[in-house]
Structure 1
Amino acid sequence: MVKQTLLSLDIVQNVAADVDQYEERPQVHRCLGCHPPLADSVLRRVRSGDLFFSMEFFPPRTKAGAANLLSRFDRVKAGGALFCAITWHPACDPGGYSETSSMTIAGSAFNYCGLETMLHIAATNLTKQEALRHLRRAKHMGVRSILALRGDITPDYKPPVDGFIHAVDLVRLIRSNFGSYFTIAVGGYPAGHPEAISYEHDLQYLKEKVEAGADFVITQLFFEAHQFITFVRDCRKIGITVPIVPGILPIQSFSSLRQIVKMSQLEVPESITKAIEPIKDNDEAVQNLGIHLAVEIVKSVLDAKSAPGFHFFTLNRENGPAEICKRVGVWQSSPSRPLPWRLGDNHRRCHEQVRPIFWASRPRAYVHRTQHWDDFPNGRWGKHDSPAFGDLSDYYLFYLKSEIPPEQLRAMWLNRLESEKDVWHVFHSYVAQTPNKQGVNVSHLPWNDSELNEETIPLVKQLIDLNSRGILTINSQPNVNGTPSSDPVVGWGSPDGYVYQKAYLEFFARPEVIKALLEEVKNFPSVHYHIVDKTGEKSYTNTFKNVPIAVTWGVFPGREIIQPTVVDPVSFNVWKDEAFALWREQWGRLYNPESQSRRVLSEIENSYFLVNLVDNEFPRPCCLWSLLDKTLNESKIKLEK
């Protein structure tokens, strides 16, 4: 029904726990050729002239901040960023296992947000063995891009025994131990490094880093375009030929500007100081000025043909950089979809082409539960008999600690539930996109972590009717018959094909409704169903045993038919545990264990059935609505009797 955008802190916690155990796991063969390294992607953009952008974030100090940051990654991914970068914070155990470490945040951004991720590693205070350990962990998580830095030092700094003196030493260590596995970026300084003997000497040091194996350069921030343009020209003169990406800092507030200037030891041009002084206490005005100045820098650099793209220092606020990207035309408003579900950049999943539809609204749970598969379905789901999904013992799989506080969730899902009709009302408010009885908009449900997407809009009238009558819908898709793959709502894949969908509906319903449905569906031979209770002891289907049903497919010139979404009986039984547990672990946790609200939810969890319906007659108008209307009418009569 919807696509997931709100993030779970528990996802971050899981990455921290997962990487802690990686050295004990057997290493499987991994294809490195399907998803190109970042270095190749950058070079391809350089040759084609296709402008790109990237954004840099730092690990937050709190667990809640980590969940909030991951939601920002979602927006950056949707905007079409080539990659994001995660800074290395020595004071916060960057290579550790906590939810807020650099390593954990990078792994979460890459594996759960599907965003190409570059991990900063600062050599300061690291021994070579420590650096190798961090690099092996990054490789295990699938991260293939490193920004190799020396890091900040104090005047009395002494490197540890077997440590690093310069960033070039870290570059050499990476290349000598990992070959071409990692894309390596290094820092460049348009005004020269503050500690350099001279600007010319610093250029030679940059050349040394490139010759040691760096693939491209990301520069320190600068305030005037001519600095970067001159820097690029001087680099080319001495034989530095790799791409050079300008680092842009949109000024977001007066205080942040002072802090950045202090850390970078850069001078702010007088023209900028004079412009900010009258508005320094108005953060919104300063931010607008910062966006304007950054846009002017970007345009000047583009006019000089000096950069293939831009790297933005976001200070963990992507709104300003996003606005700049929109103004220069590189932010994607409608990004193309290679598959109906988001395809991540982890090369371990590069052949993955098929997923069960049940996790359409919870893709990160699916990614987690399948992360240790040695192989992924790449043609037909049936090639993987009884796939070994991850265990549900880790409660994070179904309990999303989103950035929304519990009191706001209770306001959406009602502070007190008197009966199951109150639950019906919440579902109704969600699909109708109207306020609940407390006057609060229901923006998501435990099974649907965002508002209705465009694909669902044509079904809203029918969904409203069903939810008001006790059919509690959690997933759906309309039937589609040969729509161009370029369609902005249901399209996916290359733009020269056609896509198809069978109408699909998934919902919870009372036992009386199920009894009537099993009778009524006999009159609808085109409909296949799976029905199961919480325990799995009561289960009904009219499909062939363990045979998946393709519910989405595409036809493209010169290719086999692609069927990326299926209804699979084996995985449905795995999904049902997760789906039923959400009643308790996400919604139920909001109330006192002895409360009436908790009893209402427990009764639904233990008595309702989970149902999925597939209408195989996709060229014809969907018959599911007629089937369920007749079912509800029949069950109502029986209940009255």
Structure 2
Amino acid sequence: MKRGPLFIDVTWHPAGNPAGDSETSSMSIASAALNYSGLETVLHLTCVKHTRTQISSYLERAHGLGIRNILALRGDPESRENVNATTDGFSHACDLVEHICQVHPNKFVIGVAGYPCGHPDASSYEEDLLFLKKKVDAGAHFIITQLFFNPEHFIKFVQDCRAIGIQVPIIPGVMPIQSYDSLRHIVNLSRLEVPKDMMEVIQPLKDNDEAIRNYGVDLAVSMIQRLFESDMAPGIHFYTLNREVAVVKILKKVGLWRSGPSRSLPWKLAFNHRRSTEEVRPIFWSARPKSYIYRTQNWDEFPNGRWGNSQSPAFGELKDYYLFYLKSKNSKEDQLAMWGSELTCEQDVWNVFYQYISGESNRKGITVTSIPWNDDELSPETILLKDRLVDLNKRGILTINSQPNVNGAPSEDPVVGWGMPQGYVYQKAYLEFFTCRENVEALIQVLPKFPKINYHIINKSGKVNLANCHKHRPIAVTWGVFPGSEIIQPTVVDPVSFKTWKDEAFELWNEQWGKLYPEGSYSRDIIRYISDNYFLVNLVDNDYVKPESSLWMLFEAMFEQRSQNSKDSALASPTTN
């Protein structure tokens, strides 16, 4: 049995416009889950109160967003007595399935609803089974059932379906009972009858949500165990009601909670069908994957494991609109609290980077949980380098991306593991950072002493663009070796993408940080100065087999060289008495 979620589903919410462009529309949520969260997604689609033209437009939009799975439902009519279709519309889910198959053939995997206890509007259980068969015969590929409280109802339901020729997968729908009010609400909507023995347990506990939740967890676990014993359930569909705590407990108790790495690649794969051939990404966007996905959403071809030359059209040209993700999960007030409501010098900015890496609170007692170049909090890999990075950021090496060297770690490793089980993963130490001209000058002087380190150094304008590697040849920085498979090389450093990334990286200084302060303010001027005068540098240590990367020796040599440069400059300057 597959461990981990096969898909999530997004309900067709009646409020507002479910197919609209707002962030809370059903279509937008489904698209974000699919494309940016790496979750296979099933979009619910109801047909009552919609015309054929509207339904077709919804389907076209869903297809354009990469959505390929639809749960075709009738939806709730305005009244139980009035289920007739609107003009040029549909009365039943069966009509919707037929429409999808006829007008949009082979574009979608279609699911439909099944009712182990019979649909409340059907005249009989037998009639409802025949109507379900019509939906399957019309083109439905799978069935998700309404919730039920007795596993024997589902077992009998599957047997009855098979007896009349329904052969598609039937997934049982399980709703953990999480509170008395939510149970009563769902029962009213579904018109299910709660078994008497259940009510005798629940009724005395109705004011104790924790006790009811524990009972619901135990009930769901026993149901699922019985369903799996029957060999009738290919998996479980949870009605979570957007509350995950009970579901996590259930999964752990039935042995379906997946431990260890869940990544098929070092980065989270988007399930948009157009990205199905995507096997390689530049490392520069590893902390801003949503930006990378957005900028490459219209690519028809992606680099694969035999990536070769970065001038290949498979690397494509990223769209210039790279700041779409400016809207932070933190408010302007939150950002100012983390990054400083007033900046007095460059070192104030250094301290923000230091606090982000170290986890120490700032002077206001606020923890810095993000910076503009990172979508989320520190990754487990970054934490492995924490002590080293803390020291560098204190000294003006403002790190925005990193990975430790790895020499044959098991693919199941909870921190660096990815890919198939029983494999081994490798990676070269990588570090990317902003720093001042004086540090760059010293770095350039000492880099020849470290021939196994590749570098790219660039400023905002691109007029300074230094590297010691082929201008069109990517460098593999992550790869994996797995049983019965070719070597997979999913992360690269390449100069072409680095030039594109530097525009985004430098602009984030002003667009996401600088604009927090009034135009003309000293704080804003400091951010603008850093953006205009600092350099963006990436370093790759190719000697991944060493226990510790040579990058740290390089930085010590750089700081010593800078100190020497300062002394030489002071000696060369004229003095007066």
TM-score (norm 1): 0.83
Q: Indicate yes or no: 2:250 matched with 1:317.
A: no
Alignment of 1:472-621 (within 5 A): 472-557=398-483, 559-620=485-546, 621=548
Alignment of 1:323-472 (within 5 A): 323-378=249-304, 379-380=306-307, 382=309, 384-385=311-312, 387-393=315-321, 395-397=323-325, 399-402=326-329, 404-472=330-398
**Residue of structure 1 aligned with 2:103, choices 158, 177, 192:** 177
Return the letter of the residue paired with 2:58. H
**1:471 CA displacement:** 0.5
Asked if the contact 2:262/2:418 (under 8 Å) is kept, the reply is yes
**1:477 CA displacement:** 1.2
Q: For 2:483 and 2:76, how far apart are their aligned partners in 1?
A: 54
Q: For 1:498 and 1:101, how far apart are their aligned partners in 2?
A: 42
Q: Indicate yes or no: 2:72 matched with 1:148.
A: yes
Q: What is aligned with 1:47?
A: none
Q: For 2:176 and 2:430, how far apart are their aligned partners in 1?
A: 45
Q: For 2:244 and 2:198, how far apart are their aligned partners in 1?
A: 22
CA shift in 2, pair 1:280/1:638, >3 Å: farther
Q: For 1:296 and 1:596, how far apart are their aligned partners in 2?
A: 64
Q: For 2:510 and 2:383, how far apart are their aligned partners in 1?
A: 29
Greater displacement, 462-471 / 150-159: 150-159
The superposition leaves residues 166-210 of structure 1 with CA deviations (integer Å, 9 ceiling, x where unpaired) of 111111122223333321111011221111111111111111111
Greater displacement, 208-217 / 170-179: 170-179
CA shift in 2, pair 1:605/1:277, >3 Å: farther
**1:384 CA displacement:** 4.3
Asked if the contact 1:381/1:566 (under 8 Å) is kept, the reply is no
Q: What is aligned with 1:42?
A: none
Return the letter of the residue paired with 1:238. I
Alignment of 1:189-200 (within 5 A): 189-200=115-126
The superposition leaves residues 268-316 of structure 1 with CA deviations (integer Å, 9 ceiling, x where unpaired) of 3334334334443444444333323322322232233331111111222
Q: What is aligned with 1:40?
A: none
Structure 2 unaligned spans of 5+: 571-577
The alignment partner of 1:499 has SS state of strand
**1:600 CA displacement:** 2.6
Return the letter of the residue paired with 2:75. G
**Residue of structure 2 aligned with 1:622, choices 549, 565, 569:** 549
Query: How many percent of aligned residue pairs carry the same amino acid?
Result: 53
Return the letter of the residue paired with 1:630. A
The alignment partner of 1:610 has SS state of strand
Q: For 1:394 and 1:361, how far apart are their aligned partners in 2?
A: 14
**1:212 CA displacement:** 1.6
**1:157 CA displacement:** 4.5
Q: For 2:32 and 2:478, how far apart are their aligned partners in 1?
A: 28
Return the letter of the residue paired with 2:456. H
**1:125 CA displacement:** 1.8
**1:109 CA displacement:** 1.0
Return the letter of the residue paired with 1:107. S
**1:639 CA displacement:** 4.5
Alignment of 1:277-316 (within 5 A): 277-316=203-242
Q: For 1:504 and 1:214, how far apart are their aligned partners in 2?
A: 48
- The root-mean-square deviation of aligned C-alpha atoms, in Å, is 2.3
The alignment partner of 1:92 has SS state of coil
CA shift in 2, pair 1:581/1:317, >3 Å: farther
State the number of aligned residues. 563
The alignment partner of 1:449 has SS state of coil
The alignment partner of 1:90 has SS state of coil
The superposition leaves residues 516-564 of structure 1 with CA deviations (integer Å, 9 ceiling, x where unpaired) of 1111112212111111112222222222222221112233455443221
Asked if the contact 1:229/1:306 (under 8 Å) is kept, the reply is yes
**1:504 CA displacement:** 0.9
Asked if the contact 2:311/2:496 (under 8 Å) is kept, the reply is no
CA shift in 2, pair 1:427/1:264, >3 Å: same
Q: For 1:349 and 1:160, how far apart are their aligned partners in 2?
A: 38
Asked if the contact 1:512/1:639 (under 8 Å) is kept, the reply is no
Asked if the contact 2:12/2:18 (under 8 Å) is kept, the reply is yes
CA shift in 2, pair 1:394/1:360, >3 Å: closer
Q: For 2:518 and 2:198, how far apart are their aligned partners in 1?
A: 55
Q: For 1:551 and 1:239, how far apart are their aligned partners in 2?
A: 53
**1:51 CA displacement:** 5.1
Q: Indicate yes or no: 2:113 matched with 1:187.
A: yes
**1:149 CA displacement:** 0.8
Q: For 1:418 and 1:548, how far apart are their aligned partners in 2?
A: 40
Greater displacement, 291-300 / 592-601: 592-601
Q: What is aligned with 1:30?
A: none
**1:372 CA displacement:** 0.8
The superposition leaves residues 121-176 of structure 1 with CA deviations (integer Å, 9 ceiling, x where unpaired) of 11112222322222222222221111111111122344123211211111112222
| Higher gyration radius (CA) | 2
**1:632 CA displacement:** 1.9
Higher relative contact order (CA 8 A, sep 6+): 1
TM-score (norm 2): 0.91
Structure 1 unaligned spans of 5+: 1-49, 53-79
Q: What is aligned with 2:573?
A: none
Q: For 1:173 and 1:616, how far apart are their aligned partners in 2?
A: 56
**1:380 CA displacement:** 0.9
Q: What is aligned with 1:35?
A: none
**1:601 CA displacement:** 2.1
Q: For 2:508 and 2:211, how far apart are their aligned partners in 1?
A: 44
Return the letter of the residue paired with 2:21. Y
**Residue of structure 2 aligned with 1:249, choices 165, 169, 175:** 175
Asked if the contact 1:377/1:384 (under 8 Å) is kept, the reply is no
The alignment partner of 1:500 has SS state of strand
Q: For 1:381 and 1:175, how far apart are their aligned partners in 2?
A: 41
The alignment partner of 1:291 has SS state of helix
